[in-house]
Structure 1
Amino acid sequence: MKSARMLPVLVLAWALALGNILTVGIAVHAESPAAAGSLAAPESFGSISNPDQRSAAFFTELGKVLTHPRCTNCHPATDRPRQGDLRRLHEPPVSRGPDGFGLATMQCSSCHQETNFDPGRMPGHPLWHLAPAEMAWEGKTISQICAQIKDPKRNGGRSLADLIEHIGSDTLVGWAWAPGFGRQPAPGTQKEAGALVEAWVKTGAACP
């Protein structure tokens, strides 16, 4: 009889526990980067009257892309790239090589083909390779990346105008927004990122 009286209490406790689990799951999903939505448009920063501060704000918003795993994995601090949303070291072990396309014994193209191979979770692009060592920004702050990306000696010899084209139109950069199965895309869209770079350059390319 006592166990029969306890049954409704146990059922209620189980229901409350399940509700808490579901609530936590919903909260985690809502706060995940994937649910964060698009990048802010340049015009949304119009309330910042100081030009330098507004320019720096554009780059800070762009930093959501530049510090995302889709970018930092290919701009590593060492000669070994990283993989996945958890930024784990590349397996099998590979090295940058003299031109960023890997070593003679293990070229990037040995595994990475012209397009994503989603059944195998293998990313792909015709020019798949690592960014040059001087363009490494894994682990750096937004301010440090900003100073680096403006410096032709550390950005692949690009002018500020070139950066607009590179980030806004380059198809290898664009892979970050279409990374295939099992990988989270970079925030927003490539077009939105390009608009932020253009606004940043036109307002003096100030750093945060």
Structure 2
Amino acid sequence: MRILFASLFLLALTACGPRVSPEQKTKAVEAFATIEKVFQHPRCSNCHIPGDAPLQFDAQTPHAMGVVRGPEGKGALGLPCATCHAEANPPASYGPHAPPGAPHWSLPPPEHKMAWIGLPAAQLCAMIKDKKSNGDRDFAALLKHVGEDKLVLWGWNPGAGRAPVPVPHDQFVAAFKLWADAGGPCPGDA
């Protein structure tokens, strides 16, 4: 009976997520401030939009040509993102307003928009870790996405005339890992 009770107790602890000290939680919430800074930057938020029309440039102006998300996030039928956005940035000689490029250029699909422009930190935090919003990604999949996805990595090498994400990628990934390893505490969590 004791073994059964102990097993159930350990199972319950595991199901509740990682046990973190108050200090770890504080550091994880501080790390989330770095994550928020990256996610709210135009390199990320121009495509993580609440509606269906992406934004462009650092000023976050509506995308030219009437571009929209489309049924899979890859643009409208007849005008896919790949019409203008190649697999890599064009040479600087093409000028400052040439369409940038990266593999699988797209917006999030309509069923998982991950729209975070202007969200308060606590709401952004909750959205990122909500599997119903994030494409059914757990923390390991989220970390892989922000650490390895070539479209995400484009934010640090956006091509001529565009400001890169202001936090070095390795610092961002370290902050994301620290936050995820602590169970993803959000600002304001009790």
Taking structure 2 as the reference length, what is the TM-score of the superposition? 0.80
**Match of residue 25 from structure 2:** 52
Q: 1:153 aligns with which of 132, 141, 154?
A: 132
Note the residue ranges of structure 1 that are not aligned, 5 or more in a row: 1-47
Q: Which residue of 2 aligns with 1:128?
A: 105
Percent identical? 42
Q: Could you list the runs of 5+ residues in structure 2 that have no partner in the other structure? A: 1-20
Equivalent pairs, count: 161
TM-fit CA distance, 1:191 = 2.0
Superposition deviation, residue 174 in structure 1: 0.3
CA distance in 1, matches of 2:108, 2:70: 11
Q: Tell me the amino acid that sits aligned with residue 111 of structure 1.
A: C
Whether 1:110 and 2:83 are equivalent positions in the alignment is yes
Residues 141 and 132 of structure 1: is their aligned pair in 2 closer, same or farther, counting only changes over 3 Å? farther
Question: Which stretches of structure 1, 4 residues or more, deviate above 6 A after TM superposition?
Answer: none
> Contact 1:132/1:156 (CA < 8 Å) preserved in 2?
no
157, 163, 172: which one aligns with 1:184: 163
1:75 aligned residue: 48
1:156 deviates by 1.3
The residue number in structure 2 matching 1:140 is 119
Q: Work out the CA distance in 1 between the residues paired with 2:44 and 2:35.
A: 12
TM-align CA RMSD: 1.5
* Matched-pair contact (CA < 8 Å) for 2:103–2:150: no
Q: For residue 101 of structure 2, what is the amino acid of its counterpart?
A: G
Which of residues 70, 79, 86 is equivalent to 1:97? 70
TM-score with structure 1 length normalisation? Answer: 0.74
Partner of 1:6: none
Match of 1:199 among 178, 181, 185: 178
CA deviations 1:126-162 (Å, max 9, x no partner) are 2000023431112212211110000111011100111
